[in-house]
C-alpha cells in the first residue's frame, strides 16, 4: 500500500543493518514548545536513529510518573495531538533529509477526536513516519489502518503475549515491533528481566520486522545489554527526565549511542 | 399474572457481540500486556456461568450472606407526595454492606478464587465498591488492595476505615482530581504490573470486555427479582423504571431483565438519572450521556466528557459514586437506540429527593440513589396520577451524613 517515497520515509530506515537502533522518546511541548524542539534537535545530534515523539494526554494509562508528569506540564502549555504534529513538522523541515524518522506515540482518544483521516493527512503532510498507540491493539485498529496509508503503525508485544497474539502483532505491525520489556508502565528500572532474551526471540519468530525493546531502560549499560539481544533500544523516561535541558539530552543520547554502537550483536 | 411478562424470543435483546460491542460501543482498548488476561477472564467467566457449582454458590451467597431477595417496597406516602399512583422501591440499600455493589463483588471474587488468584484489587469512588470488595475478599480469604482518589479518601473517611478493618490496603491515588476516574486509572496501571497473580474486581459496568457484560450478569438479579415481585403482587408492567447511572451497574442490573424479557412495545419507560452536578450548562457535572461525545477511556468506547484535544474532563457531582467522566458502553448503546431515556439531575435536586424520601418514608437513601428519586416529581406530570413507577434505591445514605449535613439538611 505504501508508495516507494513513503517507504523511503518509513520507520524502517532508522534501523541500521549492522547494529541495534537507538530510539529516543521525547515529550512534545515539554517543558515548553521551544525547549522540546531544541531537545529533538539535540537527540538527533546526539545520535538517535529513530525519534518517538510523545503526544501529551490526560489519562496516560501505560505511562509511569516521569512521562505522566511531563504530559501534564505540556498539556497545561496547550499541547495536544495537533500541536505535536506541527512540532514534528517543524523539526523534520529544519533537520532536513538526514533527520531520524519520527514516530508519534499517542493514545487512541486524541486520534479519534481529531478523526483518523484528518490525523493521518496531517501526519503525512508533516513527514511523520509512524505511530505507536499503546491502547490500540491490532483488533481495534481497523478505522485507523483504513486511513493511515503511508504511515507505519507499530504494535506492541508484551511478556504476557501468547504465540497467537505475537503472530497477530507481528503481522499487523509496520516499521518495527515494539517489545515491552516487563509487565507494567513506562519508567526507569534498575535491572533487566532475565527472560528478555527469550521474549525477543519469540517476538522475532513471528515477524520479519526489526524488534525494538522499551520500558525500563535507564542508562548506557542497560542500553548496551538490550542492543546485544534486540534490533532497537527505546529510552524514554530517562531522557524525558533531562528534557528541560537540551544540552543534557544531547550528552545523554551521545552516551547511549556510544553504548549501543559498542554492543556485541 | 399478566402475559406481557412472558419472555418473547422474537424480540430478544442480544447485545453485546462476542467481542464485547454494544452497537459501536464497548470493545477492548487496552495495552497488550493485559489482553491475554482479559481473554482468559472472558473464557473463565463463560465457563463459570455454565457450571452449576458456580451459579449455585453465587445464588446461595446472595441469599444467605447478602440477604436477597431485597424487598420491593410500596411507598405510598412518597407516591402521594409526588402525585403518582404507586411507587415501588427496590431496596438494594438493605443488602449487606448497604448497596448493590456486593452482588458484583461476590460474583467476581468467586471467579477470582475459581481462577486460582490469591489477590484482588479494586477502584472505589464513594467507597461502597471498595467496602464490598474488601468484604468479599475477607469472606473468601483473598488479599485485597483498593485504589481510591485522595479527594474521595477525604470525603468518605468512614468507608476508608471500614476497608482497613476488613483487612484491605487502601492505596491513595493523588493524580488528577483524586476522584473515581483517577482511582480506575491507578488500579488499571497496577493491574498491568501485577497481571500474573492479581484479579481486578471492577466496580461498575465499564472497562474493557468482558467487564461490562460480566458486571451486568452479576447485577441482573436486581431486575429479575423486581419482575417476579411485581407479578407476585399482580401488578401490571410499570409505566416507568428509574435508576441512577454512574458507571451504570445498578441501572443495567435493573434494566436488562426488562429489555430481555419484555417485547419492545410492552416495556416500561426506562429512565437513567446521571449527575448534573451544578448544572449541565456549567462545566461542573458528570453527565456523560447528556453532554459527552463518544471516545475511549479506561479501555472501552462510550460517551465521554472530553475536551477538544480528546483528553477526558474531570467530572463533578456531590455524590462520589456518580462523578465519572464516562459511562458504561451498554448505556451509550441504549441511549442511541432510544431504548432508555437519560436525564441529568443536579446536586440540589438530589438533596431535595434525599430529604423527601427520608421524611415521607423513613428511608435514608444514598446520595447516588437520590438522583434516581429526584426524577419522580419530574416524571409525575407525564405519567399521571395513576402512574406506576419502580425506583432502584441502589444504596443507603449512612456514608453521606457528612455531605448532607454540610449541605445544610436537617437544619444543621
Ligand atoms: C449507592 C450507589 N449507587 C450508585 C452508584 C453508582 O454506580 P453504578 O452506576 O455502577 O451503579 C454507586 C457507586 O459508588 C453507589 O455507591
Please state the domain extents for chain A. Answer: 4-262
Q: Mutation test of the interface with chain B: which of A78, A86, A137, choosing the one with the most B Cβ atoms within 10 A?
A: A137
Inter-chain CB proximity A59 and B195 less than 8 Å: no
How far apart, in Å, are the Cα atoms of B20 and each of A200, B24, B27, B39?
Answer: 31, 10, 5, 11
Q: A51, A156, A53, A151: which is closest to A106 by C-alpha?
A: A53
Question: What pLDDT is attached to residue B12?
Answer: 77
Contacts of B194 in chain A (CB under 8 A): 183
Contacts of A110 in chain B (CB under 8 A): 309-311
**What fold, for A4-262?**
TIM Barrel (3.20.20)
What is the atom index within ligand 1 of the atom nearest the CA of B205?
10
Active site includes B101? yes
Interface of A with B (CB under 8 A): 57-59, 61-62, 68, 75, 80-82, 107-114, 134-137, 139-140, 155-162, 165, 169, 180, 183-185
CA of B322 to the centre of ligand 1 (A): 7
Q: Is B35 on the interface with A (CB under 8 A)?
A: yes
Inter-chain CB proximity B310 and A112 less than 8 Å: yes
Q: Mutation test of the interface with chain A: which of B26, B31, B209, choosing the one with the most A Cβ atoms within 10 A?
A: B31
Q: Among 3.40.1280.10, 3.90.190.10, 3.40.50.1100, 3.30.310.80, name the CATH number for the domain at B69-98+220-411.
A: 3.40.50.1100
Inter-chain CB proximity A61 and B31 less than 8 Å: yes
Q: In which element (H, E) is residue B303 found?
A: strand B300-304
Whose grid coordinates read 420491593? B72
Q: A263, A190, A197, A176: which is closest to A227 by C-alpha?
A: A263
In total, the C-beta contacts within 8 angstroms joining chain A to chain B are 116
Query: Would the CB of B394 count as within 6 Å of ligand 1?
Result: yes
Q: Percentage of residues in chain A with pLDDT exceeding 90?
A: 89
Q: A17, A12, A25, A15: which is closest to A55 by C-alpha?
A: A25
**Residue located nearest, by CA, to atom 12 of ligand 1:** B321
Pocket test for ligand 1, best of B159, B183, B243, B322 (most atoms within 8 A of CB): B322
Whose grid coordinates read 476488613? B166
**Do the Cβ atoms of B206 and B300 come closer than 8 Å?**
yes
DSSP for A178-196, please give it: EEESSSS-SS--SS--TTH
**What fold, for B22-64+101-215?**
Rossmann fold (3.40.50)
Q: Do domains B22-64+101-215 and B69-98+220-411 have the same CATH topology?
A: yes
Query: Would the CB of B250 count as within 6 Å of ligand 1?
Result: yes
The shortest CB-CB distance from A75 to any of B36, B196, B311 is to B311
Q: Which of A49, A63, A83, A152 is catalytic?
A: A63
- pLDDT tens digits for B164-202? 999 999 999 998 888 999 999 999 999 999 999 999 999
What is the residue-averaged pLDDT of chain A?
A: 94
Question: What pLDDT is attached to residue A194?
Answer: 85
- pLDDT tens digits for A2-59? 333 444 569 999 999 999 999 999 999 999 999 999 999 999 999 999 999 999 999 9
Which positions ≥6 away from B323 have C-beta within 8 Å? B125, B179, B180, B181, B246, B275, B277, B286, B315, B316, B317
Question: What pLDDT is attached to residue B237?
Answer: 97
Which positions ≥6 away from B57 have C-beta within 8 Å? B110
CA of B405 to the centre of ligand 1 (A): 21
Question: What pLDDT is attached to residue B1?
Answer: 39
Query: Which 8-state DSSP code applies to residue B62?
Result: I
CB half-sphere exposure, B317, CA atoms < 13 A:
35
Question: What pLDDT is attached to residue B295?
Answer: 98
Q: How confident is the model at residue A190 (pLDDT cuts 50, 70, 90)?
A: confident
**Do the Cβ atoms of A116 and A144 come closer than 8 Å?**
yes
ipTM: 0.94
Inter-chain CB proximity B193 and A185 less than 8 Å: yes
Which positions ≥6 away from A184 have C-beta within 8 Å? A64, A215, A216, B33, B192, B193
What is the atom index within ligand 1 of the atom nearest the CA of B219?
11
Inter-chain CB proximity B309 and A165 less than 8 Å: no
Contacts of A185 in chain B (CB under 8 A): 189, 192-193
Q: Which residue of B has its CA nearest to A71?
A: B311
**Residue located nearest, by CA, to atom 5 of ligand 1:** B321
Whose grid coordinates read 543534557? A248
Rg, chain A, Cα only: 16
Q: Percentage of residues in chain B with pLDDT exceeding 90?
A: 92
Rg, chain B, Cα only: 20
Which positions ≥6 away from B265 have C-beta within 8 Å? none
A111-115: list long-range contacts, CB under 8 Å, 24+ apart. Answer: A111/A81, A111/A136, A111/A144, A111/B310, A112/A143, A112/B294, A112/B295, A112/B296, A112/B310, A113/A81, A113/B293, A113/B295, A113/B306, A113/B308, A113/B309, A113/B310, A114/A81, A114/A82, A114/B310
Query: Would the CB of B149 count as within 6 Å of ligand 1?
Result: no
Q: Show which of residues 217-246 on chain B sit within 8 Å of chain A, judged by CB atoms.
A: none
How many C-beta neighbours within 10 Å does residue A139 have? 14
Backbone angles phi, psi at A108, to 5 degrees: -70, -40
Q: Mutation test of the interface with chain B: which of A28, A29, A58, choosing the one with the most B Cβ atoms within 10 A?
A: A58
User: Phi/psi class of residue B387: alpha, beta or left (left: φ > 0; alpha: ψ in -120 to 50)?
Assistant: beta
CA of B265 to the centre of ligand 1 (A): 29
Question: What pLDDT is attached to residue B2?
Answer: 45
Q: Mutation test of the interface with chain A: which of B19, B33, B207, B301, choosing the one with the most A Cβ atoms within 10 A?
A: B33
SS3 call for A220: helix
How many C-beta neighbours within 10 Å does residue B143 have? 15
Å between B315 CA and nearest CA of chain A: 13
Active site includes A52? yes
Q: Which of B123, B217, B225, B349 is catalytic?
A: B123
Which positions ≥6 away from B396 have C-beta within 8 Å? B93, B94, B98, B99, B364, B365, B366
Contacts of B324 in chain A (CB under 8 A): none
Q: B90, B176, B58: which is closest to B125 by C-alpha?
A: B176
d(CA B203, CA B333): 20
Q: A185, A180, A193, A179: which is closest to A222 by C-alpha?
A: A193
Inter-chain CB proximity A110 and B308 less than 8 Å: no
Q: Which residues of chain B have pLDDT under 50?
A: 1-3, 8-9
Q: Which of B249, B332, B369, B394 is catalytic?
A: B394
Domain boundaries defined on chain B: 22-64+101-215, 69-98+220-411
Inter-chain CB proximity B296 and A109 less than 8 Å: yes
d(CA B333, CA B25): 6
Its pTM stands at 0.96
Q: B45, B206, B22, B195: which is closest to B129 by C-alpha?
A: B206
Q: Percentage of residues in chain A with pLDDT exceeding 70?
A: 96
CA dihedral in degrees (A228, A229, A233, A237; nearest 10)?
-100
Q: Percentage of residues in chain B with pLDDT exceeding 70?
A: 97
Amino acid at each position: 500500500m505504501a508508495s516507494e517515497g513513503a517507504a523511503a520515509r518509513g520507520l524502517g530506515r532508522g534501523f541500521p543493518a549492522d547494529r541495534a537502533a537507538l530510539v529516543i522518546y521525547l515529550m512534545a511541548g515539554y517543558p515548553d514548545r521551544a525547549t522540546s524542539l531544541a531537545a529533538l534537535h539535540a537527540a538527533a545530534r546526539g545520535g538517535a536513529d529513530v525519534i518517538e515523539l510523545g503526544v501529551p494526554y490526560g489519562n496516560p494509562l501505560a505511562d509511569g510518573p516521569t512521562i505522566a508528569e511531563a504530559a501534564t506540564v505540556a498539556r497545561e502549555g496547550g499541547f495536544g495531538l495537533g500541536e505535536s504534529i506541527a512540532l514534528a513538522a517543524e523539526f523534520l523541515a529544519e533537520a532536513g533529509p538526514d533527520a531520524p524518522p519520527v514516530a508519534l506515540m499517542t493514545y487512541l482518544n486524541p486520534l479519534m477526536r481529531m478523526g483518523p483521516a484528518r490525523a493521518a493527512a496531517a501526519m503525512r503532510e508533516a513527514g511523520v513516519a509512524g505511530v505507536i498507540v499503546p491502547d490500540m491493539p491490532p483488533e481495534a485498529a481497523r478505522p485507523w489502518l483504513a486511513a493511515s496509508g503511508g504511515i507505519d503503525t507499530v504494535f506492541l508485544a508484551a511478556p504476557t503475549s501468547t504465540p497467537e497474539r505475537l503472530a497477530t502483532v507481528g503481522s499487523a505491525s509496520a516499521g518495527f515491533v515494539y517489545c515491552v520489556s516487563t509487565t507494567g508502565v513506562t519508567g526507569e528500572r534498575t535491572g533487566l528481566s532475565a527472560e528478555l532474551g527469550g521474549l525477543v526471540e519469540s517476538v522475532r519468530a513471528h515477524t520479519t520486522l526489526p524488534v525494538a525493546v522499551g520500558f525500563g531502560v535507564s542508562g548506557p549499560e542497560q542500553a548496551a545489554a538490550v542492543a546485544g539481544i534486540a534490533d532497537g533500544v527505546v529510552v524514554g523516561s530517562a531522557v524525558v527526565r533531562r528534557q528541560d535541558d537540551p544540552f543534557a539530552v544531547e550528552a545523554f543520547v551521545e552516551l547511549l549511542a556510544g553504548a549501543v554502537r559498542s554492543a556485541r550483536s | 399474572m399478566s402475559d406481557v411478562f412472558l419472555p418473547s424470543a422474537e424480540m430478544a435483546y442480544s447485545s453485546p457481540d462476542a467481542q464485547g460491542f454494544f452497537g459501536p460501543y464497548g470493545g477492548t482498548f487496552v495495552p497488550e500486556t493485559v489482553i491475554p488476561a482479559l481473554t482468559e477472564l472472558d473464557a473463565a467467566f463463560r465457563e463459570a456461568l455454565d457450571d452449576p457449582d458456580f451459579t449455585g454458590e453465587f445464588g446461595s451467597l446472595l441469599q444467605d450472606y447478602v440477604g436477597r431477595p431485597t424487598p420491593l417496597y410500596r411507598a405510598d406516602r412518597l407516591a402521594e407526595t409526588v402525585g403518582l399512583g404507586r411507587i415501588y422501591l427496590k431496596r438494594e440499600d438493605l443488602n449487606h454492606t448497604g448497596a448493590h455493589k456486593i452482588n458484583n463483588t461476590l460474583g467476581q471474587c468467586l471467579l477470582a478464587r475459581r481462577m486460582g488468584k490469591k489477590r484482588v484489587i479494586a477502584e472505589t469512588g464513594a467507597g461502597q465498591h471498595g467496602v464490598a470488595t474488601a468484604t468479599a475478599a475477607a469472606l473468601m480469604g483473598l488479599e485485597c488492595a483498593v485504589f481510591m482518589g485522595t479527594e474521595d479518601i477525604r470525603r468518605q473517611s468512614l468507608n476508608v476505615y471500614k476497608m482497613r478493618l476488613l483487612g484491605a490496603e487502601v492505596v491513595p491515588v493523588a493524580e488528577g482530581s483524586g476522584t473515581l476516574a483517577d482511582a480506575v486509572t491507578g488500579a488499571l496501571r497496577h493491574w498491568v504490573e501485577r497481571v500474573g497473580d492479581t484479579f481486578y474486581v471492577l466496580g461498575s459496568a465499564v472497562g474493557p470486555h468482558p467487564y461490562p457484560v460480566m458486571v451486568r450478569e452479576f447485577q441482573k438479579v436486581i431486575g429479575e427479582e423486581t419482575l417476579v415481585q411485581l407479578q407476585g403482587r399482580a401488578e401490571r408492567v410499570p409505566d416507568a423504571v428509574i435508576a441512577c447511572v454512574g458507571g451504570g451497574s445498578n441501572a443495567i442490573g435493573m434494566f436488562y431483565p426488562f429489555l430481555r424479557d419484555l417485547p419492545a412495545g410492552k416495556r416500561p419507560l426506562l429512565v437513567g438519572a446521571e449527575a448534573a452536578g451544578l448544572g449541565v450548562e456549567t462545566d461542573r457535572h458528570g453527565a456523560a450521556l447528556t453532554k459527552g461525545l463518544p471516545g475511549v477511556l479506561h479501555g472501552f468506547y462510550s460517551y465521554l466528557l472530553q475536551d477538544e484535544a480528546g483528553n477526558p474532563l474531570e467530572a463533578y457531582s456531590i455524590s462520589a459514586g456518580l462523578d465519572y467522566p464516562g459511562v458504561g458502553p451498554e448505556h451509550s448503546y441504549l441511549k442511541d437506540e432510544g431504548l432508555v431515556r437519560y436525564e441529568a439531575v443536579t446536586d440540589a435536586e438530589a438533596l431535595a429527593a434525599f430529604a423527601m424520601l427520608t421524611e415521607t418514608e423513613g428511608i435514608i437513601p444514598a446520595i447516588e440513589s437520590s438522583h434516581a428519586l429526584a426524577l419522580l416529581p419530574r416524571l409525575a406530570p407525564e405519567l399521571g396520577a395513576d402512574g406506576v413507577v419502580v425506583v432502584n434505591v441502589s444504596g443507603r445514605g449512612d456514608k453521606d451524613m457528612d455531605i448532607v449535613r454540610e449541605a445544610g439538611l436537617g437544619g444543621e
